[in-house]
Amino acid sequence: MIYLDHAATAPPSRAVLEAQWPYLTQVFANPSSAHGPGRAARAGLDAALAEIAGVLGCRPGEVVLTSGGTEADDLALLGVAAAAPRGRQVVTTAVEHPAVLETARALGAGALGEPFRVDEVGVDGDGVVDLAALAAVLTPATTICSVMLANNEVGAVQPVREVAALCRAVGVPLHVDAVQAPGQLGVRLDDLGADLLSVSAHKLGGPRGAGALAVRGAVPLAPVIHGGGQQRGRRSGTVDVAAAVGTAAALRLAEEGRAAGAPRLAALRDRLVAGVLYAVPGAVLTGPAVDARLADGSPARLPGHASFVFPGFGGEAVLLELEERGVVCSSGSACAADSDDASHVLLAMGLGADAARTAVRLALGPSTTPEEVEDVVRLLPEALAAAGGAALLPA
Ligand code: PLP
């Protein structure tokens, strides 16, 4: 199998599993218990929090462990909105993951009493947020601004530092959904200028159902999950120490591997994109070009991310034909895989509804080899022809 669905989830990492093993077997006590075994679990938890904080550029006490990226995103928006509603306005972008977009919309529909105003700022044809439009809706009364670091469907990297400067100018807390970024981009709060930042372990070979929200100490945050007051009252429930250790190991390994791994991924992606566009002249790369740069000179596209539309042909049919040939990938988002809806990201980028239903995402990861990329370049035109897409191929 050629696995090109790393943006949906990554294969489990052996090193992460080995780091978790003692905490899944011997060190099993409740880290809130005062006895020796409890203190041993607490020590493992504290070490994990310190490791996560090291990668995210914050203090260990600023890390809230969650059940993954979705809960981290929900907690960021709902937690800030409940603690400091201010002018009851949420600013976000039209291309966020549903974990942010639907939470913002729930606030807009009155999830916390009087409805919030929600501004979903538009993007350009590459999926990059319109900074002028964002600046126009931010006010000193805005409750929270949430902008993703990198888009899961089209790989677009957002100019988060510039967004942070706009937010700072009006004193608005900035939440960054960085779930797609570790191992490919830096994810330090201090570098990005973020006040809150979400990560998820399973995108990095860590445990499924585990992640974290980093929250600057100065940002008021009300809990969403109430109970015994664990995690300084910000997220109750007995902490899963093994999941925390796994999240920490996955993040640390991703960050340690980034300097060598990101350029390697970019080179593989460049070959994949060039190969596909040559072999399938009718294909369209969605999101930023592979050599596009943000204003600060950094890459505008995630190194490991390639995404296409095949106008006129069902993306699902192409995916099935690719799988017949041993290539596993998905349309823009795993969450949308079982719905017929056109991608909200591609629609926001200005694609027509028909084209927005034909997305194919090829998401590379640390295990991807040059041989696999060559195989995909060879197999994709075959799969497309079998799916009825011969018109997109060279005559
Ligand atoms: N945010 C982004 C950008 C994602 O890609 C995902 C996962 O697909 C999530 C949030 C949700 O993360 P999780 O699967 O850990 O709930």
> In this predicted model, what pLDDT tens digit does every residue of 103-147 receive, in sequence order?
999 999 999 999 999 999 999 999 999 999 999 999 999 999 999
Average pLDDT taken over every residue of the chain: 96
User: Cα(272)–Cα(283) distance, rounded to whole angstroms?
Assistant: 13
Measured by CA distance, the residue closest to atom 8 of ligand 1 is 8
- Quick one: DSSP state of residue 388? T
List the residue whose alpha carbon is closest to atom 14 of ligand 1: 69
Q: Is the pLDDT of residue 256 over 60?
A: yes
Ligand 1 nearest-atom number relative to CA 334: 8
Which whole number is the average pLDDT over 373-387?
Answer: 95
Token pair, residue 227, equals: 């109970």
Q: Report the pLDDT value the prediction gives residue 337, as an integer from 0 to 100.
A: 46
CA distance 236 to 12: 27
Across residues 43-49, what is the average pLDDT? 98
Question: What CA–CA distance (Å, rounded) separates 200 from 361?
Answer: 20
Q: Could you give the count of Cα atoms lying within 13 Å of 201 in the half-sphere of its Cβ? A: 28
Provide the 10 A C-beta neighbour count for residue 340.
8
Helix, strand, coil percentages for the chain (3-state, nearest 5): 45, 15, 45
Mean pLDDT over residues 86-110, rounded?
Answer: 98
Gap from CA of 271 to ligand 1 centroid (Å):
27
What pLDDT, on the 0 to 100 scale, is given for residue 279? Answer: 95
DSSP state of 149: S
List the residue whose alpha carbon is closest to atom 10 of ligand 1. 69
Query: Active-site residue 167, yes or no?
Result: no
Atom of ligand 1 nearest to the CA of 211: 15
DSSP 174: E
Backbone angles phi, psi at 3, to 5 degrees: -95, 105
DSSP 49-93: HHHHHHHHTS-GGGEEEESSHHHHHHHHHHHHHHH--TT-EEEEE
* pTM value > 0.85: yes
Q: Write down the pLDDT at residue 355.
A: 87
Least confident of 30-34, 191-195, 273-277, 315-319: 315-319
Residue 296 confidence (pLDDT) above 50: yes
pLDDT at 60 over 90: yes
The whole-angstrom separation of Cα 340 and Cα 334 is 12
